[in-house]
Amino acid sequence: MNFEALSYWEKRTFTEGIDFLIIGAGISGISTAIEIKEKQPKAKVVVLERSYLPNGASTKNAGFACIGSPSELLDDLEHQSEAEVFATVEKRYRGLQKLRERLGDEALHYKALGAHEIFSQKEKHTYENCLDQLTYLNQQLEPICGMKQTFKTQAAYCEDSGFIGFTKAISHAAEAQLEPDRMMQALQSKAQNMGVKLLFGIEVKQIEVNQVKTQFGALKAEKIGLCTNGLAARFLKEEVKPARTQVVVTSLLPNLKWQGIHHFEQGYYYFRNVGERVLLGGGRNLDFEAEQTEQMETTSLIQNELNRLLEEQLLPGQNFTIDYRWAGTMGVGSAKYPLIKALGPTLFCGVRLGGMGVAIGSLVGEELAELMLR
């Protein structure tokens, strides 16, 4: 139904007199709306979402509350300054604590089981480099996480866990896991209780000064915040690209030997337990060009590799089926830190969460809200 055909009551409540219009109902968009309402309770805040769910990453991610594995951080240091790398890590950690404080660990199904980065024999050089730099990394993370040894070597972990082809492991005490669907339900509920209006199934086609054009007509607002992360490239000239990520979840495995989140190959692969199931995702490094897409369909290339990894290396000798398969979209760029800026007097963005949206999304919302409220 076109906006012009709405009743007086509907227009008054949902489409007229909008102070702040947020595009994208994922973690950063909802967090921005909450932050604005906390600071200006009387402001009219409306959030638009193109799908019936926050369909880019917020309900499709793996539920990793992560801030960066050793090899990821060392790789980042090859491309960015030390100050930039650890400032971004601090944002992730602070954002994660803000999310926990806002919603509570019970609502998030947050479990501080820690993380492990595991290394195969072919990654011997990468592991040795991490080992050489472990003291340095711990020193950098201590003022951020408050732990003297965020990272520790775990000599027998891979063998004890039954992994094949992985020989070394480094644990990460500051990482955890949560349930993305519970997180988004709790965020949406909090926002609605504060008076934020959430409108689903509305796709923004064009952004103009003080208004957006959708399939149902135009909506005007005093200020507009773009929080579409990997889907922001269609609206922005700044560097942000979509990056598809593919995931599988197994059938029940009641005798699983391990818990917690895991990374390997510099974070391009990741897995965790979901109760008694195993979730495995990643593989975009198999074809970076093809995976730089907004399309959210799985591909045989990556799905076959995920299957192989489970069968041969992560769950060898165990009987299971793949019960769930899906794909989502992250927002990435040459820089790992998020893009939070004013694009004009009435248009602002908080995008490019770099695959760490669960951790950093709440802080992106805080910083974007501060910009929009000036």
Domain identity same for 208 and 345: yes
307 occurs within a structural domain: yes
Rg over alpha carbons for the chain, rounded to the nearest Å, is 21
Which tens digits make up the pLDDT trace of 290-328? 999 999 999 999 999 999 999 999 999 999 999 999 999
Domain identity same for 271 and 326: yes
204 occurs within a structural domain: yes
Answer yes or no: is pLDDT of 223 > 80: yes
Q: Looking at residue 239, what is its pLDDT?
A: 84
Length of the chain as a residue count = 374
Domain identity same for 320 and 301: yes
Domain identity same for 232 and 293: no
Domain identity same for 317 and 347: no
Which tens digits make up the pLDDT trace of 162-186? 999 999 999 999 999 999 999 999 9
222 occurs within a structural domain: yes
Q: Mean pLDDT over all residues of the chain? A: 96
Query: Cα(341)–Cα(232) distance, rounded to whole angstroms?
Result: 13
pLDDT above 70 coverage of the chain, percent: 100
245 occurs within a structural domain: yes
131 occurs within a structural domain: no
Domain identity same for 235 and 251: no
Q: Looking at residue 127, what is its pLDDT?
A: 97
153 occurs within a structural domain: no
Domain identity same for 312 and 301: yes
Domain identity same for 235 and 344: yes
Q: What is the CATH number of the domain that holds 195?
A: 3.50.50.60
Half-sphere exposure of 211 toward its Cβ, with a 13 Å CA cutoff? 9
What is the number of domains present in the chain?
2
Give the residue numbers spanning the domain of 261.
Answer: 241-332
Domain identity same for 245 and 281: yes
Domain identity same for 258 and 323: yes
Backbone angles phi, psi at 255, to 5 degrees: -105, 30
Neighbours of 211 (CB within 10 A): 16
306 occurs within a structural domain: yes
Domain identity same for 196 and 249: no
Domain identity same for 348 and 215: yes
pTM: 0.96
Which tens digits make up the pLDDT trace of 241-268? 999 999 999 999 998 999 999 999 999 9
Q: What is the CATH number of the domain that holds 279?
A: 3.30.9.10
Query: Cα(229)–Cα(22) distance, rounded to whole angstroms?
Result: 12
